[in-house]
Amino acid sequence: MNPLGNLFRQSPHGLIPVMLGPVFQREASVVPKRPATYVTRSVYLMALFLLLCTGYLVLDGSRSLAANADAAKFGGWMFRLLAPLQLVILSALAAVGAASSVAQEKDRRTLILMLMTRLSGFEIVGGKAAATLLSPFALCVISLPLFLTLPLLGGVAPGQVFAVFAVTIVSVIVSAAVGVVVALWREKTFQSIALTVLVLLLLVAAGEIAASLSGDDSRWAMAISAPRALLAATNADAGWGAFLSDGGGLFVFVGSVLSAVILAIGIAKVRVWNPSREVRLKAPDPETSEEFASEEFQRDREKDPTSWKVRQPRPVWDNPILWREIRTWAYGRKIILIRAVFVLIFAIIATAIYLQVESGVAMEPAGRIGRALPAVTIPMAALGVISLVLVNALAVNAVTGERDGLALDLLLVTDLRPSEFVFGKLWGVMYAAKEMIILPMLLTIYLGLSGVMTLENMVYALVGGFALVVFVAMLGIHSGLNYVSGRTATLASLGTVFFLCVGIAICMTIMVSFRGAFQLQLAPFLVMILGGGLALFAALGWRNPSSAIFAASFALPLITFYAITQFLLQTDHLWVVFSLLAGYGFTTAAMMIPALSEFDVSLEPDRGNETTRTTGDTPEALPGSTN
């Protein structure tokens, strides 16, 4: 008999789904049935194509592409722009998707059911990791033909394209492995997402440290850092063979081994880490005096005195939501570990900036467009983006955790006022993430006092940074309230932050790299900004669209573009911070007001008969309730 043939006949899905288990088999059969799968692929490919077309229109408007040299230059430049963009998008999608997928299983208590079955650790961990890779791999496959059109223009070899895709695929696998294992290890959704992001950033930081110690061309720096390996893959002088023999090939090998080791640890520890102590069942407390006086209970009480000790009641503030966020471990005790890792990353960046200040590199004046930025710009921007991402993830989890734990339904029937819930969550998130907010501000103050920036610009940076923190916190709460699925809310919220931080910067890079007449650049510029505005409106206002959110969705990309451009020009800093305060403040208010009115009906204690609106004899669904 042929066991392999029997295996194929027994399963309509083929050999691979059977080998990875029913967890992956279910996901592989469900994903093609979701309309969002095809929408995501279409939007992703269309976005890359529009970026390519925008660069072509901008360059063709200033010079002719009839010459082979100009076409080759354009192809190489677009290749070096799209390759890092795809690496960041797919790696982030794999990491956050893997962590949120496992965390969602924990929040809904379905992971415990899987552990009670005969599923092996490989089927659970490997199946989850492979299921997470379905979407990034699909996006990678559909983008390959687009990248292969660039060698037709010249300046790019086909081997470089395959080298870039090899680095991207390995980076995606490492991100998914880290996300799955960290989520299995930690209890809370925010812990899983934050630790996943920080661990991956530590790998990049380790590569930069290795490069600074042994030179930019260090093989070990490329072996552990995906950005440096990608830079080696896009080198015009490197082919596929040279890439494999250089540090890029070492990254493929080290990344593959690292992914296997991480997954092996997860497979071995999945039933050790889970269920966590927070969900383990305890013996029920006695309900009657007879049961309390029984000999069995008294004997158990003598063995474990802590099981019967009564805790003194704790006074609760007028706002119980804010009290819980500040006075209890609402996000788990392991949030201390996240703070410690963030402090470590902050120390690395602060040390690099300190060395630049002491050596005088940070004092060198920045040039205008086309020349180098101030030396401290990239480290400070990286620290700011990390801080904003973590605050946003914490804000999303502040609401989705309540929903997944079925606590939001209980809050809807209490006498809590809308302001107590919204502002309690908002200020509670900012308190829980205080290190991620205060430390970048302290570093900004140090730059102002050391003379790297003027005191006026220091104040502008502090005010603008705090406005962005409030915006991303409110954005997370808004997404958590509008999306039923915690994973969808997390991806939508972080995707919005990514678009505003990275997408606008890429649009700005295209516009300023091919300098020419502005009227020639206006059409492609408007296409990208309007497309981004539509995507932003779909993310923010798909459930409760309003004219304010519509205006903010289209104005915010323009304001962000203006702020970044004026920063590069090093002029009009007052107008930069004013535009940021106006744009992001208006968007924050546009999200906050619907949030308050959304809960006005179901949470106001003095509404009485207005808590349900009826049409005839059938009560309508509460606007703030979940169906």
What's the 3-state SS for 39-106? Answer: HHHHHHHHHHHHHHHHHHHHHHHHCCCCCHHHHHHHHHHHHHHHHHHHHHHHHHHHHHHHHHHHHHHH
Q: Cα angle vertex 550, ends 549, 553, to 5°?
A: 80
pLDDT tens-digit readout, 444-497: 999 999 888 888 888 988 998 999 999 999 999 988 888 877 778 888 888 888
- Between CA 150 and CA 299 the distance in angstroms is 77
Three-state DSSP at 619 gives strand
The first and second tokens of residue 415, run together, are 């006498």
The confidence score (pLDDT) of residue 604 equals 36
Residue 372 gets which letter from DSSP?
A: P
* Residue type (1 letter), 21: G
Whose CA is closest to 124, among 134, 112, 142? Answer: 112
* Number of CB atoms found within 10 A of residue 71's CB: 18
Distance CA 134, CA 265 (A): 22
Question: Please, are residues 197 and 190 in contact by the beta-carbon 8 Å criterion?
Answer: no
Query: Is-contact 272 127, C-beta < 8 A?
Result: no
Quick one: how far is CA 68 from the chain centroid?
Answer: 40
Are 553 and 543 contacting, i.e. CB atoms less than 8 angstroms apart? no
Q: How far is CA 404 from CA 108, 131, 409, 413, in A?
A: 6, 21, 10, 17
Q: What is the H or E stretch that residue 618 is in?
A: strand 618-619
**pTM for this entry:** 0.79
pLDDT at 331: 80
- d(Cα 140, Cα 145) in Å, to the nearest integer? 10
For 117, phi then psi, to 5°, come to: -90, -175
pLDDT for the residue 241: 65
Which residues in the chain come in under a pLDDT of 50?
1-13, 281-282, 285, 287, 305, 307-309, 368-372, 516-517, 600-627
Q: Write the burial class of residue 86 (CB in 10 Å: 0-12 exposed, 13-18 middle, 19+ buried).
A: buried
- CA pair distance 383, 402, nearest whole angstrom: 29
What was the pLDDT predicted at 466?
93
Question: For position 594, what pLDDT does the model report?
Answer: 79
Contacts of 226 (CB under 8 A, 6+ apart): 87, 91, 167, 170, 171, 174, 203, 204, 251, 255
Distances (CA, A) of 440 to 18, 199, 204: 49, 19, 19
User: What are the pLDDT digits (tens) for 233-248?
Assistant: 887 555 666 666 666 7
Chain centroid offset of residue 404 CA: 19
State the DSSP code for 362: G
Q: List the end-to-end C-alpha distance of the chain, in Å, as a whole number.
A: 52
Q: What is the pLDDT of residue 301?
A: 53
What pLDDT is attached to residue 59? 67
| The pLDDT of residue 523 | 61
Question: What pLDDT was estimated at residue 521?
Answer: 57
